[in-house]
Structure 1
């Protein structure tokens, strides 16, 4: 299941977590980018480096789990794929970026979040960041020329149609990325609502209302579909049986493709998205082992895939998609299995109940990513690895409390997940063949 570093006395580095908190706030709230005098500061890199060094030096035990190994496996694959597709040094650069901006953050979050209290701190930072984004977006709706209060942020869209889609700082300068993050925060606000006192409940209801308002302001159809799908999946997980949930999981990509196809009759840009999906699958069929190379999708087609799953499959082929999709599906699968195997909460003590509630919350946040990622090319967005790392940390804590569940977080399930992830690609391909 995991490789453990040389045995040492268990230690929990407060120093490493402190800098992980600073890193999280810098990445999500991005305060240094709010002012012209500090916009060039490299605080994110500094905090990440210090947190990483402190974790390696003081956090024990340190383990690499299946998701770490899957993503590490992408590094040589990206390099080889780059050389085979005539962009070798670009492949090396893409692999370097993956290691620094994806694998290291994933390792930090999965290693340093060793308690529920630490998890709560990071969840609250996520909610605060989301509220900053929504307030800045609201300012963009009323401000001069669509500018918000955050430095140089402004709404985007077709001005002739009256569109004013909100944006934020850094990689949230795209309304779709911003919307994805807002969707992933919905389970967090509901978690604190159910756990809190009267004041907390009122605060979280206000936050939830703000998230809904922000999602509307993004103008992202994929995000709005994500909210509806998230509610549907919540009902399936909590009320329906496993068989119905599995059937829905298989049929969901088909349904999403059909909905997108119906929308194409109204919006020509949607039709172009379907063509991009089909082009990505053709890239996979033509280059099944190494794909067309990371970053080369638009070299083969005029636009990005607008689908993270197809984008990865087209660029990195069968092995690459199996590793990336396997890490994603395995994380969600473990969370789901924990939920359905612990449906009698009265059997567990308070600590286990609290951890199970956190697992459920993080599971639905990951589902929020998986849904919105179906309509966006965000395969290596930092959001994925932050939330995946938090989810893995919850799984690790649960296994310590409930060792009888350790078989869920196993190498066997990880390998199966590398096969399960192909349901998405096959379902989309069948739907496109039937419709095109």
Structure 2
């Protein structure tokens, strides 16, 4: 997991990449995981989720085969195998609460390292060319010729410096989305019995660091993700009025340009927003023309000038209703697993506490995904596998005699179908009311 996010070999020893060290690591990790899982009743392996995952991979393969040929289908299958394998490895290994906690801390530590690396680039110019992209703050802005290459020293106000990271996080929106995902896991570090002072002293600096780095991404979708995550986190802790105020404060600050700056403030009338609506409309048209398997995995840009900027639209346009139902089913199963833990386990139990935090992470991710084409990014598949692992761990710690409801099968078919219909209607409403 550390290698997937931090990419130390690519960053600091790129010459070694010719020897395919990551492929070797994949093979060794998979074989070791299978060997270890055999001794532990195959870990958190879930036949239903593995079956849906296999069917989703097959749908992606067939969608490209029927639209572009066998050679392109094999290439597409190779691309989708990365998030699929991360799901499998996570399920094979994360089957106890201790392992779940270890994974969250590795994930959190990796993103923290990347955040510190971003701050070095911002204030001292270390790898700033790779970690920052700049764009004009307004259409008429003219950047000075002698501007500083260090983002923090550029006081011209003509450029917006957007922080990104490495690997699949090399887009500011992806990096912002991942920061939102890991931020709740800071609360894994202390017990619920800790004093308020202990919580603030431990979580405060960490949250401040991640919040500041998040503002450097200038990601509008990330700010909406923050609002959604805050509302969801406090939904059972504060009144409805306070939840609305929290959401309004987060979104309002960004709309007024207090966070993000320049033309990155939210506006339904700006050109990028209009272009997204056009992409969503074309995505609907692709679904109408190819309702079962879509236009083919990775083929959205063959039918539109740019990507969908919406993970849901991208999925149903490229994989059709078949692939979209399978993808939504995996997401619904993950939320169902976490809800089951919260409903059946004492709130003071670590399983319930971590389920609440993981739900917040997934809500933040999915809200950001509404404005990003991140249907098959590794982060989503890791989160879904973590949900499966946490449910397995909770069931092992609470036998049937103690918590029979916890062990009941998850209800997913009808909720998944409803989610498919609801999201299709929501996309259509966005298109209709944005024109």
TM-score (norm 2): 0.81
Aligned-pair distance for 1:45?
A: 2.7
- 2:392 corresponds to which residue? 396
Aligned mates of 1:171, 1:55 — CA distance in 2: 24
- 1:221-370 to structure 2, matched below 5 A, reads 221-236=220-235, 263-265=267-269, 267-342=270-345, 345=347, 353-370=349-366
SS at match of 2:46: strand
Aligned-pair distance for 1:283?
A: 1.0
* Structure 1 gap segments, 5+ residues each: 1-23, 249-259, 347-352
- Conserved in 2, the CA contact under 8 Å of 1:184 and 1:368? yes
Aligned mates of 1:208, 1:411 — CA distance in 2: 37
- 2:94 corresponds to which residue? 113
Aligned mates of 1:68, 1:240 — CA distance in 2: 40
Aligned mates of 2:301, 2:310 — CA distance in 1: 13
- Conserved in 2, the CA contact under 8 Å of 1:332 and 1:367? no
- Residues 105 and 321 (structure 1 numbering): CA distance in 2 closer, same or farther, change over 3 Å? same
Alignment of 1:184 onto 2:181: yes
SS at match of 1:153: helix
Aligned mates of 2:130, 2:91 — CA distance in 1: 32
Aligned length in residues: 385
Deviates more, 1:315-324 or 1:156-165: 156-165
- 1:256 corresponds to which residue? none
Deviates more, 1:305-314 or 1:30-39: 30-39
- Residues 406 and 300 (structure 1 numbering): CA distance in 2 closer, same or farther, change over 3 Å? farther
- 1:383 corresponds to which residue? 379
Aligned mates of 1:52, 1:106 — CA distance in 2: 12
- 1:6 corresponds to which residue? none
- Residues 428 and 387 (structure 1 numbering): CA distance in 2 closer, same or farther, change over 3 Å? same
- Conserved in 2, the CA contact under 8 Å of 1:192 and 1:200? no
- 1:18-97 to structure 2, matched below 5 A, reads 24-36=1-13, 40=17, 42-59=20-37, 60-62=40-42, 63-97=45-79
- CA deviation profile, 1:377-422 (whole Å, cap 9, x unmatched): 0111111112222221101111222345676676661323421321
- Residues 295 and 313 (structure 1 numbering): CA distance in 2 closer, same or farther, change over 3 Å? same
Aligned mates of 1:181, 1:282 — CA distance in 2: 31
Aligned-pair distance for 1:290?
A: 1.0
Aligned-pair distance for 1:109?
A: 0.8
Deviates more, 1:399-408 or 1:40-49: 399-408
Which of 61, 78, 82 is the aligned partner of 1:101?
Answer: 82
Root mean square deviation, CA, Å:
2.9
Aligned mates of 1:221, 1:114 — CA distance in 2: 36
* Structure 2 gap segments, 5+ residues each: 137-142, 144-157, 248-263
SS at match of 1:375: coil
- Conserved in 1, the CA contact under 8 Å of 2:220 and 2:266? no
- Conserved in 1, the CA contact under 8 Å of 2:342 and 2:356? yes
- Conserved in 2, the CA contact under 8 Å of 1:186 and 1:208? yes
Aligned mates of 1:360, 1:307 — CA distance in 2: 26
Aligned-pair distance for 1:271?
A: 1.0
Aligned mates of 2:380, 2:347 — CA distance in 1: 29
- Conserved in 2, the CA contact under 8 Å of 1:261 and 1:274? no
